[in-house]
């Protein structure tokens, strides 16, 4: 899952350099723009017959000419895009940042997005990740869909993802395996001790998710050093986008090398052996990774490019669900009353469950826990989703989106709209997802946009909620958790993660006291699904 938070290269340019360079080029660029830009709304261009009645989204200039957007963006990150949306009544507008032309779209127009043609995710992924992940040229070319063969790649890959993550039978299997991995991670903590919650949750949760898809305990995620380097890598994508390598730092580059090398060395033959050994009769070609790899190779990826695709997959699967789970822990630990309601509902769920709690009944039995999940998605899901415009195309029958530009949809205006959510949008209040009689209310969940709004939705959305809920339930069942410094207030700042939900800016130290073991199984057994 690949969502634009920040255009990393722009954000990494030192501000003084931006000023110097821009002062030199400012007059030349102004002249150039004046002579060739069709930025006046509705202006017709010679030879443009198909698009002649369309208008190019109006430009929104900054108070500082040319470099203003870059500077403000560098200071405020993705919040800057949302601030611009809140500052204008235009439903769509264009800003220029360096050589990138970006159209920002507000909620009023987003229902038209699924119908817009020629939008692709891959080229945007390259823009965000090429430098930070150190992607090779063949992988970039495949993602950018530069030829006919590669153009078939992305729809087929999306189909493969849907086939893997959406069927209930697969979700059931994944939930069981995840729970097994999480329990074995938890059992490693023997005595009462202090831990950093995000650091530890990352190791436990990401290790488990990774083992689920990458060869279990024998795969790269079975090695704690890999998970540790991966965490550093994931949380520093913006720093890794810096064109000046000396500014990145040797330790971070070493972590990236470590992760890449381990994935390079994740021999597919070993994986094959494991797959066949584990489940007699199942072939590696039928396994999830096996099918992703076959698809990459079939569409022209080099064998070396397989490491790139594994990395992209990891960066797609991990950060969102990890950030969401960590925020859940922060908010529960910050609110003892909420925590005790959640624990009470959970205890009652277990008592009435006969040894195996069924997640399909989770929302009914533990409405407060699920309300926290949805409020986390709303409150911390203010990132930006985007696409690259591959060909000149139209939006809502009125606007011309120019080939080579980016179309971005900041989510904050959706999730902080007072008309939808009420006057208290700035407050974290899970109860907005509860009915008056305390049941989970699915109606407001329909206004969440975290899973996409360009016509396709995240295929992992069903698994994501189960993943986070299983993790939190297991944590609560295993330990009494107390913040070392009380009262705990969740961070109001975030780390510069590039994609998806932001990560809390600082970690929280807690002490853990093991509880009496409940010996309860967690299963998922249902034909319907809730996201
Ligand atoms: C809170 C958790 C999550 C959020 C907010 C989230 C959000 C998203 C978004 C916005 C997209 C892009 C959709 C688009 O613009 O077309 C996406 C794509 C994707 N997500 Fe998620 N996601 C989450 C968890 C997961 C999980 C747990 C998995 C898998 C285990 C997953 C797998 C994917 C994949 C494979 C794609 C790419 C789909 C494609 O290219 O067709 N996601 N996700």
- pLDDT, tens only, 429-460: 999 999 999 999 999 999 999 999 998 899 99
For 447, residues 6+ apart whose C-beta sits below 8 A from its C-beta are 414, 415, 420, 421
Q: What is the pLDDT of residues 301-353, one digit of tens each?
A: 777 788 898 899 898 888 899 999 999 999 999 999 999 999 999 999 999 98
Helix count and strand count (H, E) for the chain: 24, 14
Q: Verify whether ligand 1 is closer than 6 Å to residue 317 (CB atom).
A: yes
Contact 391, 350 (CB under 8 A): no
Task: Give the residue whose CA is nearest to atom 36 of ligand 1.
Answer: 1
Please give the residue that has the higher pLDDT: either 23 or 102. Answer: 102
Q: Check residue 284 and give its pLDDT.
A: 56
Q: What is the pLDDT of residues 129-180, one digit of tens each?
A: 999 999 988 889 889 888 887 888 888 999 999 999 999 999 999 999 889 9
Within a domain: 453: yes
Whether 91 is in a domain gets the answer no
Coil, strand or helix at 494: strand
In a domain, 3, yes or no: no
CB 319 within 8 A of CB 326: no
Tokens (6 digits) for 481: 């958790």
Question: Sign of the CA dihedral 501, 503, 505, 509?
Answer: positive
Under 8 Å between Cβ of 283 and 114:
no
Please name the residue whose Cα sits nearest to atom 41 of ligand 1.
158
Does a structural domain hold residue 81?
no
Angle at which helix 461-478 crosses helix 367-380, to 10 degrees, equals 120
Tell me how many domains the chain contains. 1
Instruction: Quote the strand ranges of 177-286, DSSP E.
Output: 193-196
Which residue's alpha carbon is at the smallest distance from atom 42 of ligand 1? 460
Q: Which two tokens stand for residue 81?
A: 């895009």
pLDDT, mean over the chain: 84
Hey, how many other C-beta atoms are within 10 angstroms of the C-beta on 50?
Answer: 9
Residue 303: give the domain boundaries. Answer: 150-523
Closest C-alpha residue for ligand 1 atom 22 = 458
> Given the CA of residue 213, which atom of ligand 1 is nearest to it?
30
DSSP conformation class of 216 = G
Convert the pLDDT of each residue in 248-277 to its tens digit: 999 999 999 999 999 987 766 666 666 555
Instruction: Examine residue 139 and state whether it is found in any structural domain, yes or no.
Output: no
Residue 498 near residue 238 (C-beta atoms within 8 A): yes
How far is residue 489 from each of residues 256, 343, 476, measured CA to CA in Å? 32, 20, 19
Q: What is the pTM of this model?
A: 0.87
Ligand 1 atom at shortest distance from the alpha carbon of 463: 27
In this predicted structure, what is the pLDDT of residue 274? 61
CA 457 / ligand 1 centre spacing (Å): 7
531 occurs within a structural domain: no
Residue 454 Cβ contacting ligand 1 at under 6 Å: yes
CB count within 10 Å of CB 523 equals 15
CATH number at residue 241: 1.10.630.10
55, β-bridge pairs: 399
């Amino acid at each position: 899952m690949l969502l634009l938070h920040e255009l990393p290269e722009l954000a990494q340019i030192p501000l003084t350099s931006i000023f110097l360079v821009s002062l030199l080029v400012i007059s030349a660029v102004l002249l150039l723009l004046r002579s060739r830009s069709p930025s006046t709304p509705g202006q017709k261009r010679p030879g443009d017959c198909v698009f002649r009645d369309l208008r190019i989204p109006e430009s929104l200039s900054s108070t500082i000419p040319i470099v203003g957007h870059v500077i403000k963006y560098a200071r405020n990150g993705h919040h800057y895009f949302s601030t611009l949306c809140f500052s204008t009544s235009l439903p769509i507008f264009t800003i220029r940042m360096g050589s990138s032309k970006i159209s920002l779209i507000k909620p009023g127009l987003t229902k038209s997005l699924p119908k817009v043609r020629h939008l692709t995710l891959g080229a945007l992924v390259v823009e965000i990740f090429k430098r930070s992940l150190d992607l090779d040229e063949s992988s970039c070319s495949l993602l950018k869909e530069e030829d006919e063969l590669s153009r078939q790649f992305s729809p087929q890959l999306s189909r493969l993802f849907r086939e893997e993550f959406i069927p209930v039978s697969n979700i059931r299997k994944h939930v069981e395996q995840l729970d097994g991995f999480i329990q074995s991670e938890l059992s490693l903590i023997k005595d009462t001790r202090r831990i950093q919650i995000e650091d530890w949750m990352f190791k436990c949760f990401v290790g488990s998710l990774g083992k689920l898809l990458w060869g279990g305990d024998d795969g790269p995620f079975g090695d704690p050093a890999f998970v540790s380097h991966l965490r550093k890598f994931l949380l520093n994508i913006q720093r890794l986008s810096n064109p000046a390598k000396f500014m990145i730092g040797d330790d971070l580059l070493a972590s990236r090398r470590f992760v890449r090398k381990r994935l390079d060395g994740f021999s597919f033959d070993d994986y094959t052996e494991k797959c066949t050994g584990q489940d007699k009769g199942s072939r590696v070609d039928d396994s999830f990774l096996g099918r992703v790899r076959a698809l990459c190779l079939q569409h022209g990826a080099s064998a070396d490019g397989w490491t790139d695709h594994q990395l992209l997959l990891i960066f797609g699967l991990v950060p969102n669900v990890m950030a969401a789970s960590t925020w859940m822990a922060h908010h529960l630990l910050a609110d003892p009353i909420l925590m005790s309601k959640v624990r009470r509902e959970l205890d009652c769920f277990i008592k009435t469950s006969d040894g195996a709690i069924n997640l399909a009944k989770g929302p009914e039995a533990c409405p407060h826990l699920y309300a926290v999940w949805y409020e986390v998605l709303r409150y911390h899901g203010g990132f930006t989703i985007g696409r690259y415009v591959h060909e000149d195309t139209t939006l809502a029958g009125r606007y011309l989106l120019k080939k080579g530009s980016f179309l971005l949809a900041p989510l904050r205006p959706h999730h902080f709209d007072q008309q939808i959510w009420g006057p208290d949008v700035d407050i974290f209040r899970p109860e907005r997802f509860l009915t008056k009689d305390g049941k989970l209310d699915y109606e407001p969940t329909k206004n969440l946009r975290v899973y996409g709004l360009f016509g396709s939705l995240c295929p992992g959305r069903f698994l994501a909620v189960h993943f986070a809920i299983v993790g939190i339930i297991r944590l609560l069942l295993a330990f009494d958790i107390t913040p070392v410094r009380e009262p705990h207030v969740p961070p109001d700042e975030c780390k510069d993660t590039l994609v998806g939900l932001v990560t809390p800016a600082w970690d929280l130290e807690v002490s853990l006291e093991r509880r009496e073991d409940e010996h309860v199984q967690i299963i998922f057994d249902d034909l319907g699904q809730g996201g």
